[in-house]
Structure 1
Amino acid sequence: MSTQIEFEQVIHRGCGLDVHQKTIVSTVSGIDVATETRTFGTFTSQIEELKVWLNSLSITHIAMESTGVYWKPVYNILEEDFKIILVNARHIKHVPGHKTDKKDSEWIAKLLLSGLLKGSFVPAEWIRELRDLCRYKRKLIAQRVAQRNRVHKILEDANIKLASVASDIFGVTGTLIIDALIQKQEDAEYLANLAKGSLRKKMADLKLSLQGRLTEHHRFMLSTLRDSMDSISSQIGDIEARIETYAVEVQQEVELLQTIPGVGKETAINMLAESGIDMEVFPDHKHLASWAGVSPGNNESAGKKKSTRITHGNKYLKTALVEAAWAASHTKDTYLSRKYGAIAARRGSKKALIAVAHKIVIALYYILKNKEPYLEPDDTVYQQKRKQAQIKKSLERLRGLGVQVDIRPN
């Protein structure tokens, strides 16, 4: 005997979409709308047909799963006419039974009308474009680093020990020497004389490091890798110029975020590309911290806490926050650097970085919400308590060693 699940209806008319690479299965339902399921293709003209059909039925809300990248064109075409709720697939698992595309879309429509779906954060279109640029730039930088590592490997294979003498083989001197090697210059004396700056003090070691066995294959690989790195650097330059055109729109927010210790212009732009500038989409700073993946997890069963590991969150925003936390930990006489030092001493540097990143994301939330610069917290009371705790701990250690101490105030 089958049991029909009924929910109180909150939304008058809605549509559930089950989106795939080639098809979109849509189910409409609601007040004065007969429940009906239709299948459309994913070409632009076919999505436009879907939009016309939904408008003819006066549909106001649409819900769909965030399936790979297939939801994006559907969202872009329909977002102007409808309120779209993008849902994490894990949050709308169907009740047990036979699974079909039609049943999936019907279930999504039912949950939508009942107001049981929690939408994912989807920023404005221009923020999404900025996000694409920032993420692709990070990918290109990683590719360039990989190519540089390959150049280092080729030099080591040819027993050119340039990295043992020069701290950066891609600096001015290193670049000149690699170019000369590609041009079949093998005279160690000539190559060493290309040194600039402080490397000229290491001429003897530099000559020895450049006496290797460089074959034609090595030169071909170095030349190919150099061209690849130049091409990637050119692409990065183009993307940075494009990012600057978007950064003008958020110049105020970028300048405000730069008041946080450890946050530079590039990091600020990366943060804004992920979080957006409208903090009203997050109920409070705790939700933003959880979404960013720097909030402690909560896994409790039968009164026992099993794990407090941080959540996965947005890995790109988390990376930017941790980078800022690392920079903040090296600042002098700031609240964040003191926080890092206090936690790192007890729990290690990794946990301390996440804790500082958590502080930074809280600051980001209130800075963007209130449009106010970062203010250094007054932790005088905390510092005094910490000082007293350090004194107490030191005295206990001395007494444990059998030393009597007479404390006299200054």
Structure 2
Amino acid sequence: MSHQLPVLDPLATFVDVGSEHMHVSIGGNPPRVFGTVTSQLNALRDWLLDQGVHSVAMEATGVYWLPLFNVLEQGGLVVRMINGRQTRNLPGRKTDMADSQWGATLHMHGLLRAGFVPPADTRRLQDYLRLRADHVALAGSCIQLMQKAFERMNIKLHDVISSLAGSSGMAVARAIADGERSPEVLLQLCSAQIRARKEQAVVESLCGTWEEEHLFALRHAIRSWDHYQQLIADCDARIAAILPPPDQTAPPPPPPGKERKARPAGQKPGGANAPDIANLREILAHMCGTDLTRLPALTHYSVLQLVGEVGTDLSAWPTEKHFVSWAGLAPRSKDSGKRKSNAKAKCNRTGRLFCMVAQSLARSKDMALGGFYRRLRGRRGGLIATKAVARKLATWVWRLMVKGEDYVEKGLAHYAAQVQKSKEAALRRLAKELGQTLVPAG
């Protein structure tokens, strides 16, 4: 008896996306080629609607799929973005025409699994946040150029203070660019804490050679820094404009353990690169339905980045394991016959964000996840420990946003007690296996 795959949608369509041409096949039939200009994309949409198509699949090829996705989505079509590994064709048949037909055939039989695409408002926020991140990275390169100019003039200020991008470092750099050469005068531009603790070291570090070509490079680096700071401020204004207004009726309580120390004057909450948006924490708590900054190491900025990647509705992932696996944080296995091995899971942007947040727990003093990180790092290494903590954070984010659970920080002492109990239980099992009896010391 021959078994054939059922045809779930005879009009299932696949688009092979390119920078200049779109190859469109309906139900595996010979494809039709469209251009990529706006009028051609509109013509493609109208043709699909005339043919009665309601579901379209395509690969996420660079950024070329985004204009077509928006056009098809606005036309009421169901668009499925799939991983290119699902549509691998046979060797020797790799053409755009064949790829579109093969993809349509798979889609017609229901063999393509759609990936996650955030809604339009989340994609808009995502674009602003990613552009802002690019500006932050380029601004960091300007700080490196300042350090290079200082090194060429044998000025070691960046080796004495913690950050050249801080208020003290930038004040000294601007004064040098404007012509000030006296180390004592430049010292007075630093903060009171630096003057009290590092006065002599700062004065010695500011004795340079002052070559004009390196001063010229320093001025250019400062001008570039100011330019990118203005671009970052423009992005902050656009982000604030598309965020909903804060819910003033029920402001979230302050997260326990995160506001113990007063921030220095001028320091922004959430880190030096955090956006300057008023009431950001209240806005994010209103959007997410809960205050995610209660979780260890999550700041306003990291929560905003997370919302820009996945939105505020995580019900697209049925369980926390689906969400963690999608982010690339879950361990994976590869079985083939008698061969079993671990398959490396590549983190997407969301997974990398959780890993970056997890690394900040390495030096925490009273958090349970910090103790878990250090314990696992001693056994398996820092990379595995970072990914394991990131997985726990991602799990708790899903639980808080989908199930409405509450996170309670039990502290490092509670975690140490649990580890001690686990060790004692393992020791009792081993003693029972060996026929021995444990006798408490003392």
Q: Same fold (TM over 0.5)?
A: yes
Instruction: Give the deviation of 1:307 after TM superposition.
Output: 2.8
Question: Which residue, 102, 114, 118 being the options, matches 2:113?
Answer: 118
Question: Which residue, 17, 20, 26 being the options, matches 1:19?
Answer: 17
- The question of whether the paired residues in 1 share the 8 Å contact of 2:377 and 2:384 is answered with yes
Counting matched residue pairs gives: 390
Instruction: Give the deviation of 1:392 after TM superposition.
Output: 9.3
The within-5 A match list for 1:39-50 is 39-50=33-44
Equivalents in 2 of 1:383, 1:375: separation in Å? 16
> Rg larger in 1 or in 2?
1
Shift of the 42–8 alpha-carbon distance from structure 1 to 2, 3 Å rule, reads same
Deviation digits for residues 280-310 of structure 1, max 9, x if unmatched?
A: 222322221122121113223443433354x
Query: Normalized against structure 1, the TM-score is what?
Result: 0.85
Equivalent position of 2:368 in the other structure: 335
Equivalents in 1 of 2:9, 2:354: separation in Å? 38
- The question of whether the paired residues in 1 share the 8 Å contact of 2:13 and 2:53 is answered with yes
Equivalent position of 1:323 in the other structure: 356
Instruction: Give the deviation of 1:255 after TM superposition.
Output: 4.3
Question: Which residue, 380, 386, 398 being the options, matches 1:365?
Answer: 398
Aligned partner letter, 1:24: M
Question: Which residue, 102, 106, 110 being the options, matches 2:101?
Answer: 106
Deviation digits for residues 291-343 of structure 1, max 9, x if unmatched?
A: 2121113223443433354x1131x2123212322334544544323322332
Equivalents in 1 of 2:193, 2:133: separation in Å? 31
Query: Normalized against structure 2, the TM-score is what?
Result: 0.80
- The question of whether the paired residues in 1 share the 8 Å contact of 2:149 and 2:217 is answered with yes
1:57 aligns with 2:51: yes
* 3-state secondary structure, aligned to 1:313: coil
Equivalent position of 1:276 in the other structure: 311
- The question of whether the paired residues in 2 share the 8 Å contact of 1:256 and 1:371 is answered with no
Deviation digits for residues 214-260 of structure 1, max 9, x if unmatched?
A: 11111111111001111111111221232233443754217431221
- The question of whether the paired residues in 2 share the 8 Å contact of 1:290 and 1:313 is answered with no
- 1 or 2, which has the higher helix percentage? 1
Query: What is the Cα-based RMSD across aligned positions, in Å?
Result: 3.0
- The question of whether the paired residues in 2 share the 8 Å contact of 1:22 and 1:42 is answered with yes
- The question of whether the paired residues in 1 share the 8 Å contact of 2:55 and 2:80 is answered with yes
Equivalents in 2 of 1:297, 1:16: separation in Å? 30
The within-5 A match list for 1:121-270 is 121-201=116-196, 202-248=198-244, 250-252=284-286, 253=288, 255-270=290-305
- The question of whether the paired residues in 2 share the 8 Å contact of 1:293 and 1:318 is answered with yes
* 3-state secondary structure, aligned to 1:13: coil
The within-5 A match list for 1:261-410 is 261-309=296-344, 311-314=345-348, 316-376=349-409, 384=417, 386-388=419-421, 407=440
Instruction: Give the deviation of 1:375 after TM superposition.
Output: 4.1
Moved more, 117-126 or 127-136: 127-136
Equivalent position of 1:78 in the other structure: 72
* 3-state secondary structure, aligned to 2:27: strand
Q: Which runs of 5+ in 1 are unaligned?
A: 395-404
* 3-state secondary structure, aligned to 1:94: coil
- The question of whether the paired residues in 2 share the 8 Å contact of 1:260 and 1:374 is answered with yes
Equivalents in 2 of 1:65, 1:174: separation in Å? 47
Q: Which runs of 5+ in 2 are unaligned?
A: 245-282, 428-437
Identity %: 29
Equivalent position of 2:31 in the other structure: 37
- The question of whether the paired residues in 2 share the 8 Å contact of 1:131 and 1:273 is answered with yes
Shift of the 373–135 alpha-carbon distance from structure 1 to 2, 3 Å rule, reads farther
Equivalents in 2 of 1:215, 1:378: separation in Å? 54
Instruction: Give the deviation of 1:173 after TM superposition.
Output: 3.1
* 3-state secondary structure, aligned to 2:360: helix
Shift of the 241–328 alpha-carbon distance from structure 1 to 2, 3 Å rule, reads farther
Equivalents in 1 of 2:117, 2:423: separation in Å? 47
Instruction: Give the deviation of 1:207 after TM superposition.
Output: 2.8
Instruction: Give the deviation of 1:42 after TM superposition.
Output: 0.8
- The question of whether the paired residues in 1 share the 8 Å contact of 2:128 and 2:239 is answered with yes
